[in-house]
Amino acid sequence: MSATETDTSAAPAPQSSLPRRPPGIAFDPSKKPTFLEIAQGITPDEFKLDNVAKAPCSRKALLYGIGGGSAVAITRLVVTRRPLSSGNWGIATFGAISMLSWEFCRYQRRVVQEQLEAMGAETARRLEQEKREQFPQKA
């Protein structure tokens, strides 16, 4: 192979993290998909544990939930000496902390996204204004 040629077979194509659409289902952004179309798009790969870490905020929320639930369960076990009760408290605390921290993280991401969109719109407006000032249109 010469220096000007490139080897395209060296690296495999990157896998997309977006869900794949099943064959035969066209995407139309103007209409809402039906339940059947959504159900046909679900693949067994979506239920693997590797996908949990890919979801935004899930890793952090689960770690907070595990830590909080474990702390409450151990404290409850030491204080009351009733393992079933402490287990129930630990699982309930895990669920509550995980859900609340996930929702809060998603809220923070949504606020940052809105701020970025507002900054982009402001930048576009300012560029347009500067363009009009630099090149005034003559009537």
Does 39 reside within a domain? no
Sign of CA dihedral 100, 106, 110, 115: positive
The string of pLDDT tens digits covering residues 9-18 is 454 544 545 4
Res 1 pLDDT > 80: no
What's the mean pLDDT in 96-120?
A: 97
- Domain span at residue 107? 52-130
16-29 per-residue burial string, b: 16 or more CB within 10 A, e: under 16: eeeeeeeeeeeeee
Q: Structurally, how many domains does the chain consist of?
A: 1
The encoded tokens of residue 24 equal 């035969």
Does 123 reside within a domain? yes
Does 121 reside within a domain? yes
Q: Which amino acid is at 118?
A: A
Does 58 reside within a domain? yes
Cα-flanking dihedrals φ and ψ of residue 71, to 5°?
Answer: -60, -45
The string of pLDDT tens digits covering residues 42-86 is 888 878 888 887 888 999 999 999 999 999 999 999 999 999 999
| Residue 24: predicted pLDDT | 57
Does 28 reside within a domain? no
Does 43 reside within a domain? no
Does 46 reside within a domain? no
Does 36 reside within a domain? no
